[in-house]
Structure 1
Amino acid sequence: MSAPAIVIAAPASGSGKTTLATGLIGALRRAGHQVAPFKVGPDYIDPGYHGLAAGRPGRNLDPVLVGEDRVVPLYRHGAQGCDIAVVEGVMGLFDGRIDEHRTEAVAEGSTAQVASLLGAPVLLVVDARGHSQSLAALLHGFATFDSSVRLGGVILNRVGSERHEQVLRSACDRVRIPVLGVLPRMTELEVPSRHLGLIPAVEHGTAATRAVDAMTTLVAAHVDLSAIVALAGGSVQGPAWDPLAELAAADDRAVPDREQSSGELGGSPSTARTPHGPAPAMLSERSPLPTDPNAQAATTLSGRALPSSTELGVTAGMAQSAHAADRPVEPAPPARTGRTTTITDATAGDRRTRIGGPVIAMAGGAAFTFGYAEHRELLLAAGAQVVVFDPLTDELPEDTAGLVLPGGFPEEHAAQLSANVRLRSAIADGATHGLPIHAECAGLLYLTRSLDGHPMAGVIDADAEFGPRLTLGYRDAVALHDSVLWQAGARVRGHEFHRTRLTKAGTANAAWGWRTTQSVSEGAVVGQVHASYLHTHPAGNPDAIRRFVDAATAFESR
């Protein structure tokens, strides 16, 4: 059995989904429920607030990054031990990835798609400002647009008066959509935001806790919790995701290559497959995919033309596409005694012991808040010892054999990151000596020479600065060179989400190539370092996790 789910959706962004979802999670918890929090899409920030409310990590359900077939298993895995789950949607209910080749009724990556896959009812949050009787027509449209999505009720948000509430309730009665809550206008619930959305809960500290408490109190007072529990209904059916099984499948796929591999990468290169079925077309059919890393000319980070740009179908440089058309609450890091690690699965309560696995240092703290709970679970399942550290204040953990630098907001903490000279020097020295490093977005910025004028680690021959515009969107990417994560030619789905850019870049092998409105090559592969703006979901790419742990094992043995 698995916990039943309720999906929180809205007609459009800005309707109050995060307030309602976070408050509902907290209110259900106060009422004695064990609540599993989820967020649709690649967002790292909202799950941080969900985690505060639930007392357990917020997780993501993203069909684009992990594939449709993994949505239910990941849900089942994350909901273990809970009696109800709250799934916050993304954008409007039917909004998702725009793909003219997709024929399904619901958009890929949309809240509607996830609700349909889970078989869960939708609770629609409507910003009532400006609405009157016409709300009936809006609700009728959302209830009948797609038969695979069940609209079970509505929450009226930002209602101005008792008279306004009466008019809106009458409109809902007209289309037989039950009203399960009415939230008044309350400006004091606003959570501070900046260029990429809400300030992550880890950075916002006690203010985030106060905001979550206020949301919880609001929802508890104005929403019918018992009706929502009843609406959630039966459990979600299907197998639970198992990181050990995922890695075993990755091992099976990589057996021929592992047996033949030797040297710097530590074996187990991933194959050129997509985790979601047939590989998507990213480069033009006239531009063959790169398969021999030795045949690639060096890519210039500064944006000068690739010598082989005609053949590869990509332009050079770490230039980002001009325009695009979560901070879970972390469980405590594993306890370490010498070379023995006791692993606690925070979801299932399962305890196991690994002996002698390589130490993977994972950056955390206020500057590196973007990560998926499944990343650590896969690393642990692969036999690694995962030690979380804070680059703002800590040194590199003892016996580090692999380094993960996830996403976050290093631009907000550049001075303090720069002041930790011992850590910057240790990481630069490690990179020189072949330490496997996986750096995504914030990690990429930290590895550059400087960020907004502050000295960084200097592993990547580029400078970084806060830019004039946001780069946002899914990417169908191809790995252009062998690395500690992927074999050249591997196809991966990822997501960009940043407002920084690289300048004064030197020459290095690009990590990825893709097409948007133009051909783009991005990121850098330098020795055992893979650095890129592209965020990937480890659950959708278990082959890369196995490959990285193998590289760390090889580094440790040297």
Structure 2
Amino acid sequence: MSTPAVVIAAPASGSGKTTVATGLIGALRRSGSRVAPFKVGPDFIDPGYHALAAGRPGRNLDPVLVGDALIGPLYRHGSDDADIVVVEGVMGLFDGRIGAAATGTARGSTAHVAALLGAPVVLVVDARGQSHSVAALLHGFATFDHSVRIAGVILNRVGSARHDDVLRQACEQAGVPVLGSIPRADELSVPSRHLGLVTAVEHGRLAGAAVDAMTSLVARHVDLAAVQRAAAARVGDGAWSPASADPISGPVTVALAAGKAFSFGYPEHAELLRGAGATVAEFDPLADPLPADAAALVLPGGFPEQYGPELSANDGVRGQIRALAERGAPVHAECAGLTYLVDDLDGHPMCGVLSGSATFTDTLTLGYRDAVAVTDSPLHAIGERVVGHEFHRTTVRFGSGRQPAWRYSGRAGEIVQDGAVRAGVHAGYLHTHAAAHPEAIARFVATAASTTRLARCRAREEQK
């Protein structure tokens, strides 16, 4: 039998599903359950809070990035040894990729993922400003798509005992069980910035305190036993393995940037690197040197624009990264990593691996992209196609002679030449999910091994 699961969804963004999902993960764990947390969509921020609540990595389920067939296997991989899975949805229950074909369940929506998993949905409803109308809302969501089963509702931001009574009567009329009723709790707030919540790793102790408060709130006001009874999901057969190819022969160390400025990464990326035979060594470019014997480098997304002076001040690691790239070692950079590799970010000197300047803007670039590789690199051969996601407020003005990494249609339909490829460097704004392209990770590690062997041979020749 597959691990039981429940999907926490809402009629719209802002209903409180992150608070409820994170608190539910923590409350179930506090009660003795081993909880595996997931987030629908490409978001990197919520999984950080899920991880604090669960004590294990928060993972993503995004059929747009990885395809329908991988959702079940990735679920099974991430829920190994767990007693229950909590999946937090994205936006409203039926909100999916904009521009996708309007047939059936919207692609990439919470409903899409719930249907793929066969998992029941618990709807979080913001009860402010309504009472009996909740019945009509629940009736509509319960009957709109019969591939999705609404197992219950958690009423959020309930104003009083009288308000609670009226809402429960409305839910009974709609035939949807009430699994919890949470009063208004203004003290539960996590700081936000231009791309959403401040990441858990940046928020530090305050993030832990916020998660503890969410956990206690849900534990007091949600029927955990009822949620566990509802979580009777079964997922499809199949399993995902982080082995991306036959392991390489010989040790290869891949340096992986982490910390406050580079926290946007999927756990499967490091797992696939290890599966391909690499040793993954994390480091924080804000303070650390490049790990010893690094043969390759991965720079994920994050918020470097918040830490420009600090990143610039660590000129030792900037020089090491520049030297690594100049040796032809493979470097994979996404979004924040791209802005770290150029000459400067908002005037602060960066690594200078790529000719260009990055600046923070008032414009949010957000959305899925169907991209094609336009230059051969240690990750992709020219012509390879991927689905990725953009999520940034910076822009890069490149120097002359740039070879772009990707080509795709932007949000207004314009043709975008994204990123740059130079020797072993592949950098761009596009975020991809490594599980959808294990062959790219295998190619990356194999290139690192080959480059390392070549460098050693040259060193021996020079010693003769």
Matching residue of 1:343: none
Q: CA contact under 8 A between 2:365 and 2:390: conserved in structure 1? A: yes
Residue 87 of structure 1 aligns with which residue? 87
Q: Where does residue 526 of structure 1 map in the other structure?
A: 422
Q: Is 1:127 aligned to residue 126 of structure 2? A: yes
Asked if 1:38 is matched to 2:47, the reply is: no
Question: For residues 11 and 234 of structure 1, what CA distance do their matches in structure 2 show?
Answer: 21
CA distance in 2, matches of 1:433, 1:489: 26
- CA shift in 2, pair 1:152/1:468, >3 Å: same
Q: Give the superposition deviation at 1:131.
A: 1.2
> Aligned residue for 1:435?
329
The one-character-per-residue Cα deviations of 1:199-241 (angstroms, maximum 9, x if unpaired) are: 0000000000000000000000000000000000254341221
Secondary structure at 1:464 match in 2: strand
- Matching residue's letter, 1:183: I
CA contact (8 A) 2:6 2:233 kept: no
Is the deviation greater in 481-490 or in 157-166?
157-166
Q: Which has the higher contact order (CA 8 A, sep 6+)?
A: 1
- Once the 2 structures are TM-superposed, how far is the Cα of residue 100 of structure 1 from its aligned partner? 4.7
**3-state DSSP class of the match of 2:12?**
coil
Contact preservation (8 Å) 2:116, 2:235: no
> Secondary structure of 2:20's match?
helix
Deviation of residue 98 (structure 1)? 2.5
Equivalence for 2:238: 239
Q: Which runs of 4+ in 1 moved over 2 A?
A: 98-103, 234-237, 354-357, 503-507
Q: Output the aligned Cα RMSD.
A: 1.3
Matching residue of 2:286: 392
Match of 1:280 in 2: none
Q: 1:503 aligns to what SS in structure 2?
A: strand
Instruction: Map residues 104-115 of structure 1 onto 2, 5 A cutoff.
Output: 105-115=104-114
Number of aligned residue pairs: give it: 452
Confirm or deny: 8 A CA contact 2:158 2:164 kept in the other structure. yes
Which residues of 2 match residues 125-524 of structure 1 at below 5 A? 125-244=124-243, 246-247=244-245, 356-503=250-397, 505-516=399-410, 517-524=413-420
Cα distance, 1:376 vs. partner?
0.7
Q: What per-residue deviation string (whole Å, max 9, x for no partner) do you get for residues 52-77 of structure 1?
A: 00000000000000000000000000
Q: Which amino acid aligns with 1:523?
A: G
Task: For residue 543 of structure 1, report the CA deviation from its aligned partner.
Answer: 1.1
CA contact (8 A) 2:117 2:233 kept: no
Which residue pairs with 2:449 in the alignment?
Answer: 553
Q: Is the 8 A contact 1:461 1:507 kept in 2?
A: no
Offset, 1:504: 5.8
C-alpha contact 1:123 1:154 (8 A) present in aligned 2 = yes
Specify every segment of 5 or more residues in structure 2 that has no aligned partner in the other structure, as ranges.
Answer: 455-464
CA contact (8 A) 1:2 1:80 kept: no
Is 1:462–1:504's contact at 8 Å kept on the other side of the alignment? yes
Q: Which amino acid aligns with 1:448?
A: V
Q: Report the 3-state secondary structure (helix = DSSP H, G, I; strand = E; otherwise coil) of the residue aligned with 1:242.
A: coil
**Equivalent residue number for residue 21 of structure 2:** 21
Question: Structure 1: which 5+ runs fail to align?
Answer: 252-353
Whether the 8 Å contact between 2:268 and 2:435 is mirrored in structure 1 is: yes
Hey, what's the Cα distance between the residues in 1 that align with 2:101 and 2:82? 38
Does the CA contact (< 8 Å) of 1:48 and 1:58 recur in 2? yes
Aligned mates of 2:242, 2:265 — CA distance in 1:
16
Question: Displacement of 1:358 after TM fit?
Answer: 0.8
Deviations 1:3-25 (A, max 9, x none): 11000000000100100000000
CA distance in 2 between partners of 1:210 and 1:474 (Å):
33
Q: Quick check: 2:388–2:430 contact (8 Å CA) kept in 1?
A: yes
Matches within 5 A, 1:62-81: 62-81=62-81
What's the offset of the Cα at 1:134? 1.1
Q: Secondary structure at the match of 2:368?
A: strand
If the length of structure 1 is used for normalisation, what is the TM-score? Answer: 0.80
Aligned residue identity for 1:533: Y
CA distance in 1, matches of 2:175, 2:74: 33
Answering whether residue 436 of structure 2 is matched by residue 540 of structure 1, we say yes
Match of 2:52 in 1: 52
What's the secondary structure of 1:180's corresponding residue? strand
- Cα distance in 2 for residues equivalent to 1:369 and 1:243: 21
Partners of 2:302 and 2:377 lie apart in 1 by 23
Supply the distance in 2 between the matched residues of 1:168 and 1:114 (Cα, whole angstroms). Answer: 28
Question: Following TM superposition, by how much is the alpha carbon of 1:118 offset from its aligned partner in structure 2, in angstroms?
Answer: 0.5
> What are the Cα deviations for residues 276-312 of structure 1, in whole angstroms up to 9, with x where unaligned?
xxxxxxxxxxxxxxxxxxxxxxxxxxxxxxxxxxxxx
State the match for 1:327 in structure 2: none
**Matched residue type, 2:210:** A
Query: Which amino acid counterpart does residue 82 of structure 1 have in structure 2?
Result: A
Query: C-alpha displacement at 1:429, in angstroms?
Result: 1.3
Contact 1:37–1:59 under 8 Å retained in 2: yes
Separation in 2, partners of 1:137, 1:556: 64
The one-character-per-residue Cα deviations of 1:175-194 (angstroms, maximum 9, x if unpaired) are 11011001111111000010
Percent identity over the alignment?
63
Residue 545 of structure 1, CA deviation = 0.2
Letter in 2 for 1:542: P
Once the 2 structures are TM-superposed, how far is the Cα of residue 531 of structure 1 from its aligned partner? 0.6
Alignment partners' CA distance in 1, 2:394 and 2:301 = 12
3-state SS, counterpart of residue 81 of structure 2:
coil
Q: Evaluate the alpha carbon distance shift between residue 141 and residue 102 of structure 1 in structure 2; reply closer, same or farther with a 3 A threshold.
A: closer
- The structural deviation recorded for 1:357 is 2.2
Equivalent pair of 2:39/2:60 in contact (CA under 8 Å)? yes
Is the Cα contact below 8 Å between 1:2 and 1:79 reproduced in 2?
no
